[in-house]
Amino acid sequence: MAATLYLLCTFTALLCCVLLLRGFYRTRVPFLCWTGLSFAAITLENLILFLDRIVFLSIDLSAWHAAAGLIAVVVLLYGLIWRHKP
């Protein structure tokens, strides 16, 4: 049950990433790019969580999981704060 939930979250984040980046390529709105890149990192974070909790039980991947989450937040904040054009 937990494996299904982790994979569902991973695929949902991947779908959001693909849709946001596809929208960016069509409209060239920079915010879609930064949000899509953030969701790419969230996808990676969810994949690492799946690997940590389900596949590699003897290896601690929590640092990699936290790093991927931090990258996702930093990318989104960078796009929101420094690349925002009013």
Sign for the pseudo-dihedral over CA of 55, 56, 58, 59: negative
Sign for the pseudo-dihedral over CA of 55, 56, 61, 62: positive
Structural domain includes residue 11: yes
**59 secondary structure, DSSP code:** S
SS3 string, 25-48, reads: HHHCCHHHHHHHHHHHHHHHHHHH
Structural domain includes residue 46: yes
pLDDT band for 82, please (50, 70, 90 cuts).
Answer: confident
Structural domain includes residue 67: yes
Report the domain count for the chain: 1
The 10s digit of each residue's pLDDT in 16-68 is 999 999 999 999 998 999 999 999 999 999 999 999 999 999 999 999 999 99
Domain membership of residue 14 as a residue range: 2-81
pLDDT confidence of residue 84: 62
Structural domain includes residue 86: no
